[in-house]
Each structure stands twice: as C-alpha cells, then as structure tokens.
Structure 1
Amino acid sequence: MTRLEVPTAEDMHQLGRRLGEQLRAGDVVVLDGPLGAGKTTLTRGLGEGLGVRGPVTSPTFVLARTHPSVVDGPPLVHVDAYRLGSPVELDDLDIDFPHAVVVVEWGAGMVESLAESRLELLIERPASGSDEEDEPRIVTATGVGPRWADGLPL
C-alpha cells in the first residue's frame, strides 16, 4: 500500500498521466472516494498518459465510455458504477477487460469477482469538508493480485 498527498487538481491530473504511461492492456483501476474527490480528474490524466482520444469526461449517464488509442496502445474504458446495483450489472456491460485499460469509478465491491488483479485507489478529501478543487487529497493505492505483486507504479 502506498499513500500520497496530492496538493492540487493539476497534480491529480499529472499523477494520472504518470500512471497511465505505465498501464497496459488488461489492467483494471478501481477508483473510490466521495463526490468531488478527483476521480474523473485522475482519469483524464490516465487517458492522456495512455494516449487515447478524448476528452475524457465522467460517464455517469452512459455508464461506460471507450476512448480508443491514438498511439497504437490499448483503449481506455471508463466506467461509472455509481448507479449499478451489483457486479452482475457491471459484467452485463460486456467490457473487454483483457484488451483495454479499464477504470471503474465507484468500483469498490463491484469488480472483485471480475478482475483477479486490480489497482485500487482511494481518494480522500481534506477533513475540512470544503469543496475547494485545489485542496490537498490523499491517495491510497493498493495493488491486488499477481499483476501488482512486484510493486505499485506510483
């Protein structure tokens, strides 16, 4: 497990970009944290690091968006599981896990049966409860499964 303090929204974006540069097809990233924590900001950076066609926006109303690569890499599948009731509903989206990088916002409790290996990122907002975008966040990264056995890319 790794904990990082991320001072600003731009830093969150850059963390995502650096992480995206290290991800490969078959990787699953689970993002959890309260509204406004920075999940979509991090995912925008992931998309930039992966070199996918954007813009990367929250898929809240469509549940999942696929962003194809513009650099011959894997596509980014960005899922918002907030309105899903069970892992079965996530599985029904028929996502091509082996050939894409899949990011699931609100994914805790949803992907465990679908992905043996996953990178779980919990983003916590400051204790002040402020809605300020540029207040520090704490990102706790946990690697689960054989893909992350040798360490985390953060």
Structure 2
Amino acid sequence: MLLPTAQSTDAFGRRLASLVQVGDVITLSGALGAGKTSIARGLLSALGLPGEAPSPSYAIVQPYDPPEVRLPVLHVDLYRIDDPADLDELGLDDSRWTSLLLVEWAEHAGPDAWPDALRLTLSVADGGGRVLTAQVPPGWEDRWSRI
C-alpha cells in the first residue's frame, strides 16, 4: 500500500483505529523516520487521545486508559531493547489481554514474539511517501479487508 504523504500515513492510523480491539497486537517496523510513530499517533488520536501522543522511546511503554481513549492501549517502543529476554520485565504478554498492544521496533522482540500480531512494515518510497506492507494473521483477515 502506498502512503504518499504524511497526512495519508496519519489517515491510515485513523482507519486502523476503527478496527482494533482489546487483545490485539499491532507491530510497526521500519527504519528511523519511516512513519511508525505517525501511524501510532493517527490511531491514538482516532481513539480519542487529545493532543499529540509523545514517542515512547525513553519511557519504553506509554499507557493510555479510558476515558482518555476508548480502549486501553500500551504504546511500546523497543528501539532501546537489545535482548528479547529483557521484555519479560515489561510484562507485555500479560498486559496484552487487557489492552491493545501497539509496538514500534517490534523486531527487537525477536522473530517469535506475538505470532498473531498484525505486522506492519514501512519503508520510504522513491520520491517520498511511504510503502506499507502488511502481514495479516487469520484473526485480522476480515477486519483488514475493511481498510
């Protein structure tokens, strides 16, 4: 999928917000500046977050709870995680069942993390814009067709 502008990247995140549920995991991968946080911000905004969501780069996990958003969200940035074993301390596997888990730099969690996740990968297109590639698990197939 081509996302030709920053606005289209944000709009994609907003459309995605209409489909998410508690217990979902969405991973966002791509180089620095590819648009991961833009999608996350669009999604969080559409879920009701007032203002712009901060990047969770330093906090690692930024939680959002109702009434601030329509459902609990854990916005996670794994950029500074070097060893997938360090994830145990974050408690993400337990928390995912009561929240939407939105994970940037998910590749730092290792290849076996969240096999049922909707995996979104962004790359910079020639001439600007972004190319989004999705790995859609069975639990997302019906919802993904509505994007």
Q: What is the letter of the counterpart of residue 4 of structure 2?
A: P
1:16 partnered with 2:9: no
The range that moved more, 112-121 or 13-22, is 112-121
TM-score by length of 1: 0.82
- State the partner residue of 1:78: 75
Deviation of 1:118 (Å):
0.4
Q: What is the letter of the counterpart of residue 148 of structure 1?
A: W
Higher relative helix content: 2
1:139 partnered with 2:136: no
Task: Point out where structure 2 has 5 or more consecutive residues left out of the alignment.
Answer: none
Deviation of 1:143 (Å):
1.4
- Which secondary structure does the structure 2 equivalent of 1:117 belong to? coil
2:55 corresponds to which of 49, 54, 58:
58
1:99 partnered with 2:98: yes
Please give the alpha-carbon distance, in whole angstroms, between the structure 2 residues aligned to 1:86 and 1:53: 34
- Equivalent residue pairs, number: 144
Q: What is the letter of the counterpart of residue 42 of structure 1?
A: I
1:124 partnered with 2:117: no
Contact 1:53 1:68 in 2 (8 A): no
Deviation of 1:99 (Å):
1.0
TM-score by length of 2: 0.86
Task: Point out where structure 1 has 5 or more consecutive residues left out of the alignment.
Answer: 129-134
Please give the alpha-carbon distance, in whole angstroms, between the structure 2 residues aligned to 1:41 and 1:99: 24
4+ runs deviating over 6 angstroms: none
- Which secondary structure does the structure 2 equivalent of 1:24 belong to? coil
Does the C-alpha gap of structure 1 residues 42 and 49 become closer, same or farther in structure 2, counting only changes over 3 Å? Answer: same
After superposition, what is the alpha-carbon deviation per residue over 1:32-58, rounded to whole angstroms, capped at 9, x for unaligned? Answer: 111111111110011122224553121
- Which secondary structure does the structure 1 equivalent of 2:13 belong to? helix
Does the C-alpha gap of structure 1 residues 54 and 86 become closer, same or farther in structure 2, counting only changes over 3 Å? Answer: farther
